[in-house]
Structure 1
Amino acid sequence: MALPKILMTPLAALTQAVEYEGVWFPPLVLPHCLEKVKTFEVREDDLILTTYPKCGTHWMKEVLRLMQHDGHVEKIKRETDPSKNGDLSFALPPDMKRCVSDGIAASPSPRIYATHLPVQLLPPQVWTKKPKIVYLTRDPKDACSSMYRFVNAIDPTSKNNVTWELMYKTFFSEKAHFGNWFDHALGFWNHRDDDNVLFLTYEEMKTDLRSVVRRLEKFLGLPITSEGMERIIEHASVEGMKKTFAKIEEEYENGKMYTRAFGLMPFIQKGVSGGWKANFTDEQRDECNKMMKEKLAGTGLDVHYH
Structure 2
Amino acid sequence: MAEADLYFEYKGIYFTHFYHTPESLKYLEELSFRPDDIFIATYPKSGTTWSQEIVSQIMSGGDSSTAETLPYQDRTPWIEATQLADLHFEDRPSPRIFTTHLPYNMMPPSFYKVKPKAIYVMRNPKDVMISAFHYFGKRPIYADPGTLTEFLHKFLDGSKMPYGSWFDHVKSWLNAEDKEQFLYLNYEDMVQNLENSVARTAQFLDKSLDTEVIEKIAEKCLFKNMRNKVPDDSTNPIKSDDERLSELFRKGIVGDWKNHLSVEEAKYFDAVCKEKMRDVKCKWD
Q: TM-score normalised to the size of structure 1? A: 0.80
1:165 aligns with 149
1:185 aligns with 170
| Equivalent residues of 2:104, 2:176 under 8 A apart | no
* In structure 1, distance between residues paired with 2:53 and 2:281: 28
1:299 aligns with 280
Task: Flag as ranges the 4+ runs of structure 1 deviating above 6 A.
Answer: none
- Note the alpha carbon deviations across 1:43-100, whole angstroms, 9 max, x for none: 2221111100000000111111111233333453543385775422123xxxxxxx43
* In structure 1, distance between residues paired with 2:215 and 2:131: 28
- Note the alpha carbon deviations across 1:229-287, whole angstroms, 9 max, x for none: 111121110121123x14x6xxxxxx243xx8345543122111111122223222111
Match 2:40 to one of 45, 49, 74: 49
1:6 aligns with none
In the alignment, residue 299 of structure 1 is paired with which amino acid? V
| Equivalent residues of 2:52, 2:76 under 8 A apart | no
2:99 aligns with 114
| Equivalent residues of 1:41, 1:105 under 8 A apart | no
1:261 aligns with 236
2:186 aligns with 201
2:254 aligns with 273
Against the structure 1 CA distance between its residues 104 and 213, is the aligned structure 2 distance closer, same or farther, given a 3 Å change threshold?
Answer: farther
In the alignment, residue 217 of structure 1 is paired with which amino acid? A
In the alignment, residue 39 of structure 1 is paired with which amino acid? E
Matched residue of 1:76: which SS?
A: helix
Against the structure 1 CA distance between its residues 141 and 87, is the aligned structure 2 distance closer, same or farther, given a 3 Å change threshold?
Answer: same
Match 2:214 to one of 229, 250, 272: 229
Determine what percentage of the aligned residue pairs are the same residue: 26
Please show how residues 51-90 of structure 1 align to structure 2 within 5 Å. 51-76=42-67, 78-80=69-71, 82=73, 86-90=77-81
- Note the alpha carbon deviations across 1:131-179, whole angstroms, 9 max, x for none: 1111111111101111122223369xxxx67432343232222222111
Matched residue of 2:41: which SS?
A: strand
Against the structure 1 CA distance between its residues 229 and 296, is the aligned structure 2 distance closer, same or farther, given a 3 Å change threshold?
Answer: same
In the alignment, residue 14 of structure 2 is paired with which amino acid? W
In the alignment, residue 164 of structure 1 is paired with which amino acid? L
Against the structure 1 CA distance between its residues 107 and 282, is the aligned structure 2 distance closer, same or farther, given a 3 Å change threshold?
Answer: farther
* In structure 2, distance between residues paired with 1:83 and 1:240: 21
Q: Which runs of 5+ in 1 are unaligned?
A: 1-10, 92-98, 249-254
Against the structure 1 CA distance between its residues 14 and 164, is the aligned structure 2 distance closer, same or farther, given a 3 Å change threshold?
Answer: farther
Against the structure 1 CA distance between its residues 12 and 281, is the aligned structure 2 distance closer, same or farther, given a 3 Å change threshold?
Answer: farther
Against the structure 1 CA distance between its residues 154 and 200, is the aligned structure 2 distance closer, same or farther, given a 3 Å change threshold?
Answer: same
Match 1:286 to one of 262, 267, 279: 267
After superposing the two structures, state which structure 1 stretch, 16-25 or 38-47, moved more.
16-25
In the alignment, residue 24 of structure 1 is paired with which amino acid? Y
Matched residue of 1:195: which SS?
A: helix
Aligned length: 273
Q: Which runs of 5+ in 2 are unaligned?
A: none
| Equivalent residues of 1:292, 1:305 under 8 A apart | no
Instruction: Report whether the alignment pairs 1:105 with 2:89.
Output: yes
- Note the alpha carbon deviations across 1:209-244, whole angstroms, 9 max, x for none: 12212211221000111111111121110121123x
Q: TM-score normalised to the size of structure 2? A: 0.85
1:299 deviates by 1.8
* In structure 2, distance between residues paired with 1:47 and 1:277: 35
Matched residue of 1:216: which SS?
A: helix
1:105 deviates by 3.1
* In structure 2, distance between residues paired with 1:134 and 1:229: 18
In the alignment, residue 156 of structure 2 is paired with which amino acid? F
Instruction: Report whether the alignment pairs 1:175 with 2:125.
Output: no
1:16 aligns with 6
